[in-house]
Every structure is written in structure tokens, then in C-alpha cells.
Amino acid sequence: MLKKIERRVRVIVTKPFKRPKHPNNKPPPLEEQQPTMEPQHSKKPPTGPFLFPKTQSTVLPDPSQFFPQSLLSTPLPTNSFFQNFTLKAGDQPEYIHPYLIKSSLSSLSLSYPSQFHNSAFIYQVFVADFTISAASDSGPQKGHIISSHSDLSVTLDLPSSNLRFFLVRGSPFVTASVTGNTPVSISTIHAILSFGTSNSNTKCTVKLNNGQTWLLYSSSPINLTQSGLSAITCGGFSGIIRIAVLPDSDPRYESILDRFSACYPVSGDAFFNKPFCLEYKFQKKGWGDLLMLAHPLHIKLLSSDDCDITVLEDFKYKSIDGDLVGVVGDSWVLKPPSVSMTWHSIRGIKEESYDEIVSALRKDVEALNSSAITTPSSYFYGKLIARAARLALIAEEVCFLDVIPVIRKFLKDTIEPWLDGTFKGNGFLYDGKWGGIVTKQGSVDSGADFGFGLYNDHHYHLGYFLYGIAVLVKIDPAWGRKYKPQAYTLMADFMNLGRRENSNYPRLRCFDLYKLHSWAGGLTEFADGRNQESTSEALNAYYSAALMGLAYGDTHLVATGSMLAALEIQAAQTWWQIREEDTLYDNVFTRENRVVGVLWANKRDSGLWFAPPEWRECRLGIQLLPLLPISEVLFSDSGFVRQLVNWTLPALTREGVGEGWKGFVYALEGIYSKENALEKIRNLNGFDDGNSLTNLLWWIHSRGDENEEECGGGGKLCWFGHYCH
């Protein structure tokens, strides 16, 4: 009898998710996939993807100052590594590893940054070590133009200076193309101690009084002369100039830079061609092999078996993200550990725990009342939707299906008004200027919905909506068929993989394919670049998209969501989670912090947007919520979890600590001390608005016995592992 049940479960789980038929029985590459927007079983031909009503936002900046007309007709990036170059005067720096780059009028300045650090924060200091400018007869000085951009690069043109800069992430060289036999000036705020050129006049060595040594290479002879204490000039040049700092002024590195100076990258793209496999391809010019730099997570995930690369372990540049190590090769393959997408807990729940969970579940479901919701906020409303959806899945897991109809009705009543455009006080609209979804409130108020109208936090807000939609599609497939167009457009806003010019959304709005995690900053200028506070809410977005793929039988969406979720987890464990024994950050910062508050491109901050550093329970909670099956993979290192909880617990004695934040601390404590955590959770008298007593009890009772072997990303309920291998 048991075997029959097992066979039945296997059929139920696997049958809806068979690969769609394609020629030669092979699915097209993920890069070519465009989500199907029409409802399933529709007899009418698709008329194009669904769009929410269009709006003319009054708060969005005008992109025409920095983008050429040819790019203005396509969706534009709103959370990219070069976003500062597109905002206001475009003169705030961006961190393009290993240099801070700042563009101003007809010049570009680069800095090999030093770090300032204390127990509260770390940041890199911008100093204009070198500024490149050129004089031409093309009229008055004008700002830069972003002539092209890709996953790993941006090309800046300075039209009034005949300069084009190929800024490719991870290049130890800054590469400039000069046209028109243009006079070039290279200046520094430091004093030049020595200046010398090679016999061929294609290499120049400059030593500065701050201890730095810089190397300049040219594609043809260039006649450089020192002008005063702090400038080098050339009467006229056409060709390629490459500039690199010599790390630590170490002469051992000079021969390496010499060797690879003639091959330069002009762009770089990332490809999702296989499940749990990300490939970088750099387009190069010149001759010889390409030298690039990899950060610590790259080094961890690089697969030398799948690409022809050589890692130069002793060739390093300093970075706030950890040492950047030399990699020779124009094609990289990164392979994160696979993560299976599960609806329910990874370990399962013992039947003797069902009663307590069901008791809480009854009360939480009885309290559901869509008409009582007063918030118009897309963020807080989304959390309430996802909270209710969790109740449905927990009900499935503890075999108490009586409450499913009530939850289904609540989800319909709360989700449909946002998808139909009938929600009073707010709703989703489409902005054609940058290409994406904004809210009614956000389109007229830059502070509304936490800046959603400026493309801030899109993956957070929409991730909660997708979670509720995924669960509703699972329990009501007919509803899912009806609302599939709207569901997929919400997903595509931040998860579009396509590169097509006629797309309605930019490619991967929030996810950074070089850093391998998301940014949340949107179209706001920040001196320290993009930022992200809550990695767990970013993880929720990609996890929820994968679940939606499971509900719709969309294997490509499952694969993409799973891959991005896996990378977000790896990045969080690398840069946000700080173990006592870690050496990535300064000792003083590491000693005082177990988790980063807000991580910036150019800064690490112990504070939060909404709380000071000493509110440690908030720092822990914002890196854990919402509490989901995937949370166990995010916090899979039980040794670190113990360190984090012990670091946080003293903060709970502070007057005024919210019960909701306590719940997240106790949830993590349950990973290594189940009974203690369970007792504390039973005594809570309040919960986060996206959490519930049911969810906390589900989490604790799914911890298993403390002597059980850890199951990592799999587990006995890991039914969908066949998608991940």
C-alpha cells in the first residue's frame, strides 16, 4: 500500500512539469525565452504581453540627457552598477572594480580607493588619482553619453573630447579610445615624483607622492611630457590608451600587466544556458589573452572544468568586496550549489506536532478579513497577501485542508483588485519612459511606497505579490489561467531575461550579474552607489518566481528563479553574514558585527534605513523575513546561526523591542535549540505583519531532531530536485 502511495505522489508531482515539446526534443536556450502572457488553453492568438495602464510619472528623471536616442526607445536600467552616471549631473562616482570612476563634463577621473573603517561602517574613499581629459574643436564641453551597456560593462562617450571609455567590470585597466589626433591631458591631485617612458613610447610609468605607481600603455607611440608637478600631456594622439595602477607598487605585478596590456575588453555579457550555470563572455580587441579580476565569490564558484581560464592567485587588487584575483580568459563559467524549490518544509513535520500548528492555524485563518485591510502600500499589502498564502501551504503540510477555501477567497479578494486595476487608493501602472511598473501613488510622490515609483525595492514588493499568486495558482488553477498575463508581467518587471529591443522591461532590473546579488536603490543618486538592505526579501522574490513556475508548469521560470535564488544566497553568505572567524572585512568591523545592515556598492553600514546599529534584532530580522522553506538554505550554517543569535539576544532586553522582531530571533534560535525557542515563541503576544504564530510554529516543528543529519538544500520533501541537476 505504501509503495502505491509513493508512486501516486511521484506521478502527481512530476506529471505537470514535463518539458514542452520543441524540435529535436530540446528546449530553446533560456536567453530566448519570452514568458507566455496569454492564459493557458486560450484559443485566440496572443496579442502581445499584458501591460498595466500607462502613466506619465511626475517624479521620474529624464533619461535623455545621458542616453542616445537609439536607446531611449528601449527599456532602461534602473538599478545598475552605473546608475549614478544617469542621474542629475551624472557626476557621482561608481565602483567599477577595481576603480571608483567619476565622470564630469569632458573628463573622467579614476581612483584606486583606500578604505576607512571603524566598528560601525567601512567605506572606500574616492580621490581623483588620475583624471583623463582631451581638448577638441567640437564646440563647448558637454557631459558624457552612455552609448552602450551590457551585463558587465558600460561605454561612456565624451563627445566634446573625442574620448570613449570601455568600462568593463573587473578589468585592471581603464581603457580609452581617442580619435581625431586629439591632445590628451592626464592629471592627478598628487605630486608626480617620477615619470618615464619606454624606448617604444608605448608605455609610461608614473610614480606619485601617495606611494602609488601607475602604468600607461598605448596602442601606438605617444609623445607624453610632464607638465608641472601634477600633469602629463600629449600634443595629439589617436588610438587606445590603457591605464592601470600597480598594486602595492609591487614590481612583480608589472610584468603581468605588461604581458596583458595589448588585449582589452569592450563589453561583457552573462548567459543562463544551463541550470545552475552562469557563463561570462567578454568581447575583446587587440591581441593576446584577456586579463580580468574576480572577487571572492567568483573564485568560489568558478568552474575550471568548463572553461579555459587560468587563475593568477598571487595577482591581487584590494577591494571592499575582498581581494580581486587575476583570471586569464575571456569566457568564465560559474556554478553555484543547486537549490531545490519546495512548497513545504525541507525536513517535514512529525504528526505529533500537527495539533499545535492546527490550533494556531484555525485562529489565524479566522482572523483573515480583506475588508479590514487599511494600508494602500504595495509593500505592506503584499506582505499581508504572502502571509495568508503561507497559511495555505502550512495547512497542506499538516493535512488540515478545511481552511483552504477561506484562504483562497482571501487571496482572490486581495490580489484581484491590484491585477484588475480596481484597488482604491493605489494600483499598478506602466511607465514607458524607463520601462516598468510603478504604483499610482509612486507616480506622483517619490516617497510613496518606499520609492517604488523611482524603481526602488521592486523585487521586494512584487516578490510578495508573486508568492501569493503562486500559491493561489496552485490551489485554484482556473484562477491561474485567467490571471496568467498579469502574473507574468509582474514577474517580468524584475526578472526579464530577454535582450530584445521591443521588450517592455529591462534585463534583470535588480540583479547584478557581476556581484551576483540584487540592488534595491532605484533611480536615486547616492555617493556610495547602489544599496541593498534585505537579502532575504530579494531571495523571496526569486524563490516566489520559481514557485510560480512550478504552479504554471513553466520549467524555464523554475530554472531561472532557482538560479537567481541560489546566487542571492551565496552572496548573502559571502558579504552580509559575518562570521567571527571571517577575514573579509576589517577586524574591528568583524568583531562588532555579525551581519551587515545596509550593503552599498562602496560601503558597508551597520545601521539600517529604519533602525540604528544597536537594534540588532532588526538587523537579524530584516535578513531573515519572510520566514520560508528557503530560509533554511539561507541560514544553513548552524555554527554561524548560533553566533548571530548570541550576538543579538542581549538587544532583546532593551525597552520597546517589538514582539515581531523577537519572533525572528527565536526562529533562528530554533535551528540549534528547538525546545528553548519553542517556549519563547509560545509566549509571544505579537508578530510581524508578514508573519504569524502558525508560521513560527511550523518553522520550529520542522526543525527535526537536533541530532539529525543536516540536509542542506535537499530533504525528504524536496520533490523538485530534478529541476536543479
Could you read off the pLDDT of 389-445 as tens digits, one per residue? 999 999 999 999 999 999 999 999 999 999 999 999 999 999 999 999 999 999 999
Catalytic residue among 512, 537, 605, 632: 537
> What is the reported pLDDT for 1?
42
Give CA–CA dist 600/121, Å, rounded. Answer: 11
pLDDT tier at 13 (50, 70, 90 boundaries)?
very low
Give CA–CA dist 76/69, Å, rounded. Answer: 12
pLDDT at 307 over 50: yes
> What is the reported pLDDT for 44?
47
Catalytic residue among 364, 512, 528, 533: 533
> What is the reported pLDDT for 138?
59
Lowest-confidence segment of 101-105, 481-485, 545-549 by average pLDDT = 101-105
pLDDT tier at 72 (50, 70, 90 boundaries)?
very high
pLDDT tier at 26 (50, 70, 90 boundaries)?
very low
Non-local (6+) Cβ contacts of 89 within 8 A are: 104, 143
The one-letter code for the residue type at 632 is: E
Mean pLDDT value across residues 52-62: 98
Q: What is the pTM of this model?
A: 0.92
Catalytic residue among 94, 457, 528, 605: 457
Non-local (6+) Cβ contacts of 562 within 8 A are: 275, 276, 338, 339, 340, 341, 542, 546, 723, 724
Give CA–CA dist 678/669, Å, rounded. Answer: 9
Mean pLDDT value across residues 241-248: 97
Give CA–CA dist 313/156, Å, rounded. Answer: 31
Cβ distance 106 to 159 under 8 Å?
Answer: no
Closest by CA to 471, choosing from 401, 547, 538, 413, is: 547
Give CA–CA dist 503/488, Å, rounded. Answer: 13
263 Rama sector, left if φ>0, alpha if ψ -120 to 50, beta otherwise = beta
Mean pLDDT value across residues 533-560: 98
| Average pLDDT along the chain | 91
pLDDT at 506 over 60: yes
Mean pLDDT value across residues 648-667: 98
> What is the reported pLDDT for 148?
97
Give CA–CA dist 649/657, Å, rounded. Answer: 11
* Cell (9 digits) for 446: 517619490
Q: Per-residue pLDDT tens for 663-714?
A: 999 999 999 999 999 999 999 999 999 999 999 999 999 997 655 544 444 3
Asked if 537 is an active-site residue, the reply is: yes
CB burial of residue 65 (10 Å; 0-12, 13-18, 19+): middle
B/e letters for 480-498, b = 16+ CB within 10 Å, e = fewer, are bebbbbbbbbbbbbbbbbb
> Is-cis flag, bond preceding 98, omega within 30?
yes
Give CA–CA dist 265/285, Å, rounded. Answer: 6
Asked if 533 is an active-site residue, the reply is: yes
Cβ distance 512 to 529 under 8 Å?
Answer: no
pLDDT at 141 over 90: no
Q: Per-residue pLDDT tens for 281-305?
A: 999 999 999 999 999 999 999 998 8
Cβ distance 294 to 327 under 8 Å?
Answer: yes
With a pLDDT cut of 90, the percent of the chain lying above it is 87
Give CA–CA dist 723/434, Å, rounded. Answer: 34
pLDDT at 6 over 90: no
Closest by CA to 380, choosing from 454, 465, 444, is: 465
Mean pLDDT value across residues 505-530: 98
> What is the reported pLDDT for 510?
98
pLDDT tier at 502 (50, 70, 90 boundaries)?
confident
Mean pLDDT value across residues 647-654: 98
> What is the reported pLDDT for 89?
95
The one-letter code for the residue type at 239 is: G
pLDDT at 9 over 80: no
> What is the reported pLDDT for 338?
94
